[in-house]
């Protein structure tokens, strides 16, 4: 029975992708970037020097200056304030959607592992159908049908990222379910809910959390991409993607108003990826993988 | 090629067709069945109930959803994709004008990205653990996480604004010389390549390393075969399947990137047509574009699967 414990393909691929030992400080840098953006998302609106919608300068697309550290946007609003407030939308929406997607995916995975074969089959087929619609396509048709709103964006992200979370969680749960202590628990006559939550879940929590981090990065990319197309967060609210879009007119002048929000999204997602890569490569080393 | 392989391929193709059918159901359900009354929407809130009822009858909205789905599917298969409301033109005409542009962009991207990615992937697999490898692994890890519009804006800033080599908003409708072609396509193709090359190089590296870890490579190394020869003659032929798989899968990431790139560069392709359709809520056009993209995506995934099957001698010669 023991030889059923194979490493899941996802973790082994990540382990192959890891660099040498030099990746340790990169992981730290990634973690630092994540923490900084999390803090900005929580405290940003209080730190903003100007009200977010206020036109403070006569110069549009101003460059960096002491009064406006990140320049001004296409209406002469302070970029620093707009980014500090916009980060809350980007991080907050993606975090809610990622937690929901991962939670739902894992719950369905546990359900399908402990339930009868037909239900398992049904859930898996359903998830397979949704995984074969690219997330951006799904987001586009959802927006075209229902119009864009914050709730809809979260629903869309959950809908397109739950199947992936389900697939990874299920492949782990199936391996754990075949282990002896779960068989013992089953023979002991434990209920299914108990087996799923007490026997299986704690043993797959770490990889599930890693997967949540990866999904968070993908969702940030999806949502800011939608906002960039003008189909995401709607004015007067603005996330980082909308900031890039509304200042696109400054591209020809090389205005900081367009580069900085784009860089902000980049640092956030790169930070998450470096951090997650570090976590998963350390785990695979500890478990004797690579 | 034997009956076993044929059966395997047939089953895979069948599964892809079934998935496409399910996808079409989902697309139809989201765009046509759920959002309430299309007749009410197109007439506005001041329409009399009689007008709405008449339009409902005309649009066939009084029929049950299943019947409407079957009708939609059969007309889609026969090439009649309905009328685009915002352009007052048949959807098929609109799309026919745009598809070649997008295919051109995709082909140029594939042509550039595949050789670059293979070189990077194989190179970093050969020097595994070395300085080049860890730099490449950091680079690919970073590029995977970068949004397309960051790459695009930075590229425009550097090459169009600061250096003045290329024009920012690229599309020229009449391309006469190869030089003009290069100038037009350089920025969009470069942006698309960044993300795809990173994906592809990562997967290629994994595929080659998988082979380099196998006993026959160790045997070759023990008998003193040179490093280059090990990779080119021993490992690579066996990694062709996984690499083709990686190429097809990475190219399917194009579908997401092309939406952003066509918008930012004003490129008149099918993806920017779709974004306009979504903005105008032009449902027939959205449905047709989505189905086209999903079909392309599923085809690429299917090709990736088939490459994996065909390259596996155990499946081929059983």
Sorted by sequence, the CB contacts under 8 Å of residue A108 that are 6+ apart come out as: A123, A127, A162, A166, A169, A170
Looking at the domain assignment, is residue A246 inside a domain?
yes
- Kindly determine whether residue A262 and residue B150, on different chains, have CB atoms separated by under 8 Å: yes
Across chain B, where does the E strand assignment appear? 83-84, 89-90
Q: How many domains does chain A have?
A: 1
Angle, vertex CA A54, rays to CA A48 and CA A56, nearest 5: 90
B-facing residues of A in 184-223 (CB < 8 A) are 217, 221
In angstroms, the CA A140 to CA A148 distance is: 10
What local confidence, expressed as pLDDT, does residue A17 receive?
43
Looking at the domain assignment, is residue A15 inside a domain?
no
| pLDDT classification of B174: cutoffs 50, 70, 90 | low
Q: Which of A25-29, A152-156, A174-178, A249-253 has the lowest mean pLDDT?
A: A249-253
Looking at the domain assignment, is residue A14 inside a domain?
no
Segment B256-281 mean pLDDT: 85
Sorted by sequence, the CB contacts under 8 Å of residue B182 that are 6+ apart come out as: none
CB contacts, 8 Å: B264 with chain A: 248
| pLDDT classification of B169: cutoffs 50, 70, 90 | low
* Percentage of residues in chain A having pLDDT higher than 70: 89
- Cβ atoms A161, A97 nearer than 8 A: yes
Looking at the domain assignment, is residue A183 inside a domain?
yes
Looking at the domain assignment, is residue A5 inside a domain?
no
Report pTM: 0.83
Angle between helix axes A9-17 and A150-177 (nearest 10 degrees) is: 100
- Reduced 3-state DSSP string for chain A: CHHHCCCCHHHHHHHHHCCCCCHHHHHHHHHHHHHHHHHHHHHHHHHCCCCCCCECCCCCCCCCCCCCCCCECCCCEEHHHHHHHHHHHHHHHHHHHHHHHHHHHHHHHHHHHHCCHHHHHHHHHHHHHHHCCCHHHHHHHHHHHHCCCHHHHHHHHHHHHHHHHHHHHHHHHHHHHCCHHHHHHHHCCCCHHHHHHHHHHHHHHHHHHHHHHHHHHHHHHHHHHHHHCCCCCCCCCCCHHHHHHHCHHHHHHCCHHHHHHHHHHHHHHHHHHHHHHHHHHHHHHHCCCC
State whether residue A144 sits within 8 Å of chain B by CB: yes
Looking at the domain assignment, is residue A36 inside a domain?
yes
Give the CATH fold of the B92-312 domain. Answer: MetI-like fold (1.10.3720)
Here the tokens at position A154 are 């979260």
- 3-class state of residue B36 by DSSP: coil
| pLDDT classification of B266: cutoffs 50, 70, 90 | confident
- Cβ atoms A93, A156 nearer than 8 A: no
- Cβ atoms A283, A206 nearer than 8 A: yes
What local confidence, expressed as pLDDT, does residue B50 receive?
76
- Cβ atoms A25, A270 nearer than 8 A: no
- Kindly determine whether residue A225 and residue B168, on different chains, have CB atoms separated by under 8 Å: no
* Percentage of residues in chain B having pLDDT higher than 90: 1
Asked whether residue B130 carries a pLDDT value surpassing 60, the answer given is yes
CB contacts, 8 Å: A263 with chain B: 150
The CATH number linked to A105 is 1.10.3720.10
Q: How does DSSP classify residue B60?
A: T
- Cβ atoms A151, A197 nearer than 8 A: no
- Kindly determine whether residue B259 and residue A144, on different chains, have CB atoms separated by under 8 Å: no
Segment B38-64 mean pLDDT: 69
Distance from CA of B2 to the nearest CA of A (A): 29
In angstroms, the CA B7 to CA A283 distance is: 40
In angstroms, the CA A211 to CA A103 distance is: 11
What local confidence, expressed as pLDDT, does residue A155 receive?
92
| pLDDT classification of A99: cutoffs 50, 70, 90 | very high
- Reduced 3-state DSSP string for B61-128: CCCCHHHHHHHHHHHHHCCCCCEECCCCEEHHHHHHHHHHHHHHHHHHHHHHHHHHHHHHHHHHHHCC
Model ipTM value: 0.81
Mean predicted lDDT score pLDDT of chain A:
81
Looking at the domain assignment, is residue A13 inside a domain?
no
**Domain map of chain B by residue range?**
92-312
Here the tokens at position B32 are 């046509």
Q: Which domain holds residue A62?
A: 23-283
- Reduced 3-state DSSP string for A257-286: HHHHHHHHHHHHHHHHHHHHHHHHHHHHHH
* Percentage of residues in chain B having pLDDT higher than 70: 87
Of A140, A147, A274, the CB nearest to B274: A140
Largest CA distance in chain A: 76
Looking at the domain assignment, is residue A190 inside a domain?
yes
Distance from CA of A141 to the nearest CA of B (A): 7
- Kindly determine whether residue A134 and residue B286, on different chains, have CB atoms separated by under 8 Å: no
Q: What is the pLDDT of residues A76-95, one digit of tens each?
A: 788 888 888 888 888 999 99
- Cβ atoms B290, A142 nearer than 8 A: no
What local confidence, expressed as pLDDT, does residue A12 receive?
40
In angstroms, the CA A205 to CA A198 distance is: 11
């Amino acid at each position: 029975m023991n030889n059923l414990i194979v490493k899941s393909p996802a973790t082994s691929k990540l382990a192959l992708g890891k660099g040498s030992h030099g990746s340790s400080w990169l992981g730290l840098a990634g973690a630092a970037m994540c923490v900084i953006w999390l803090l900005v998302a929580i405290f940003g609106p209080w730190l903003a020097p100007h009200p977010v919608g206020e036109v403070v300068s006569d110069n549009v697309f101003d460059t960096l200056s002491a009064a406006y550290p990140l320049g001004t946007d296409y209406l002469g609003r302070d970029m620093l304030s707009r980014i500090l407030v916009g980060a809350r939308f980007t991080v907050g929406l993606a975090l809610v959607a990622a937690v929901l997607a991962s939670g739902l995916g894992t719950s369905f995975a546990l359900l399908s592992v402990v339930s009868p074969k037909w239900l398992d089959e049904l859930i898996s087929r359903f998830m397979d159908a949704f995984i074969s619609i690219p997330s951006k396509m799904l987001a586009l048709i959802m927006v075209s049908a229902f119009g864009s709103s914050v709730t809809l964006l979260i629903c869309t992200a959950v809908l397109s990222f739950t199947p992936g979370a389900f697939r990874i969680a299920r492949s782990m749960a199936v391996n754990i379910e075949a282990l002896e202590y779960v068989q013992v628990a089953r023979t002991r006559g434990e209920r299914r809910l108990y087996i799923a939550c007490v026997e299986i879940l704690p043993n797959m929590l770490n990889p599930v959390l890693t997967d949540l981090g990866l999904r968070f990065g993908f969702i940030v990319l999806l949502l800011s991409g939608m906002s960039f197309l003008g189909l995401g967060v709607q004015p007067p609210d603005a996330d980082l993607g909308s900031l890039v879009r509304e200042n696109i007119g400054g591209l020809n002048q090389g205005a900081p108003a367009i580069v900085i929000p784009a860089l902000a999204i980049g640092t956030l997602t790169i930070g998450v990826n470096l951090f997650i890569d570090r976590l998963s490569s350390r785990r695979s080393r500890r478990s004797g993988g690579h | 090629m034997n009956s076993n392989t044929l059966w395997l391929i047939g089953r895979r193709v069948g599964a892809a067709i079934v998935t496409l059918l399910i996808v079409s159901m989902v697309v139809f359900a989201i765009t046509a069945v759920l959002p309430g009354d299309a007749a009410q929407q197109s007439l506005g809130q001041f329409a009399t109930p009689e007008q709405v009822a008449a339009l409902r009858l005309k649009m066939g909205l009084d029929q049950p959803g299943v019947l409407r789905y079957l009708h939609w599917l059969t007309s889609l298969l026969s090439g009649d994709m309905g009328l685009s409301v915002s352009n007052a033109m048949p959807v098929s005409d609109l799309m026919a004008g745009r598809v070649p542009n997008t295919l051109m962009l995709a082909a140029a991207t594939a042509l550039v990205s595949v050789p670059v990615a293979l070189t990077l992937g194989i190179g970093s697999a050969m020097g595994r653990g070395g300085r080049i490898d860890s730099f490449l692994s950091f680079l690919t890890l970073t590029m995977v996480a970068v949004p397309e519009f960051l790459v695009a804006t930075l590229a425009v800033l550097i090459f169009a604004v600061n250096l003045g080599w290329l024009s920012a908003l690229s599309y020229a409708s009449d391309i006469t010389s190869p030089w003009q072609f290069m100038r037009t396509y350089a920025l969009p193709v470069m942006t698309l390549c960044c993300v795809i090359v990173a994906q592809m190089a990562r997967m290629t590296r994994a595929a080659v390393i998988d082979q380099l870890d196998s006993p026959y490579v160790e045997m070759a190394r023990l008998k003193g075969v040179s490093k280059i020869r090990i990779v080119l003659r021993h490992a690579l032929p066996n990694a062709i399947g996984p690499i083709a798989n990686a190429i097809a899968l990475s190219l399917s990431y194009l579908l997401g990137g092309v939406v952003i790139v066509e918008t930012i560069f004003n490129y008149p392709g099918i993806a920017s047509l779709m974004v306009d359709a979504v903005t105008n809520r032009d449902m027939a056009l959205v449905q047709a574009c989505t189905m086209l993209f999903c079909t392309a995506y599923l085809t690429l995934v299917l090709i990736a699967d088939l490459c994996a099957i065909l390259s596996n001698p155990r499946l081929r010669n059983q």
